[in-house]
A and B are shown apart, each in its own frame.
Chain A
Amino acid sequence: MKEKYLSTRHEPALGARDATSSGDTSRERRAEPEPPSIKTTASETERLRDSIAAEPALSDHRNPGLYAEWLAQRRARTTVAGNLAVTFLVALASGPMAVAGALLAGRQTWWGTVYLVLFGPVIEELLKQAGMIYLLERKPYRLFAWWQFVLAAVISGLGFAAVENLIYLYVYVSPQTFERWHELARFRWTWCTLLHVSCAVVASLGLARVWKQQLRDGLPAELNHGFTWFLAAIIIHGTYNLSMLMLQLWHP
């Protein structure tokens, strides 16, 4: 067994105090500073999370405004152009990521119908917002207006629809005639695209609500505050998928 797992030298709880309080030179040697075997460098948000200012049991040290202060300070160091660029990038990445997530979740399984109507919309709607959820939780100082969420939703919805349309038209579907293919292409690039963008926008309103709540309370984002809007987007998407499935059965 490696020495670092057995020695007390790496124990954070057995610091320099042990060595200085005794005349034992071997113990002094033990207390020499050495890098800990487990990395303990914390990010700004982690330090905020672990601060005693948020501990209910330490009422004398509580500072409910700490998070809001940090947010205001960090926001002052950002620029609108930079924030918009970050929004654009995360939104651009979210669309294709949602397609990948949907494909990995197993569209071709025996429970295909249940997937199409229920699980597919859940995964797709959540992943379309993945980039903005990341910003909301990790870099909230990059957010300055509610319409950032809507803008990101339009971009990720378009990205998602574009990738999915290409997969449908060139991989999944092989219609007998060019006219049928053209008809399908037109349908996918109009109605399907509109559906994906609309659903993403509906879900994004939930994120905007989470963001507003974060600003009002001065606390880290709680995604569950946007649940109703996500649910609405999922229901719209699921209903559309179900109706398409029915249509396929009646008019193959």
Chain B
Amino acid sequence: MIVVNTEYIPQKRIVEVRGLVQGNTVRAKHVGRDIAAGLKNVFGGELKGYTELLVESRREAMQRMLDQAEELGANAVVNVRFATSSIAANAAELYCYGTAVVVADA
């Protein structure tokens, strides 16, 4: 599966558009990590627990989007975008979407 955030893929041509695919997630770390991040906030620096949370959320949302693309029989997703929203405190909300397409060599 080719995944790009551009509209076209070099040396490939889009032969069919299968539709909009998307994946989202809302994740949180356990309260221990929140307490640790709260303490770290006092002294500054990277809040590693939350970095980890974002990485996990991004990958989960991406995986869900790719599962949809596979379900549609696509072999690429173009124009991929990420969006965030705010639903709960200390939680990461990630939304990932793109256009599932079938590409062939140009």
Contacts and interface: CB of A to CB of B under 8 A. Distances in A.
Contacts of A50: 55
Interface residues of A, number: 14
A46 B48 contact: yes
| Chain B: interface size category | 10 to 19
A215 interface: no
A223 interface: yes
Contacts, number: 27
B32 A130 contact: yes
A126 interface: yes
13 contacts: A46-B48, A49-B52, A50-B55, A55-B59, A55-B62, A56-B59, A56-B63, A56-B66, A126-B30, A126-B31, A127-B32, A133-B32, A223-B30
Interface of A: 46, 49-50, 54-59, 126-127, 130, 133, 223
B3 interface: yes
Tell me if B's interface is mostly helix, strand, loop or mixed.
Answer: helix
Interface string B45-80: 000100010010001001100100000000000001
A49 B55 contact: yes
B32 A59 contact: no
A126 B32 contact: yes
A133 B62 contact: no
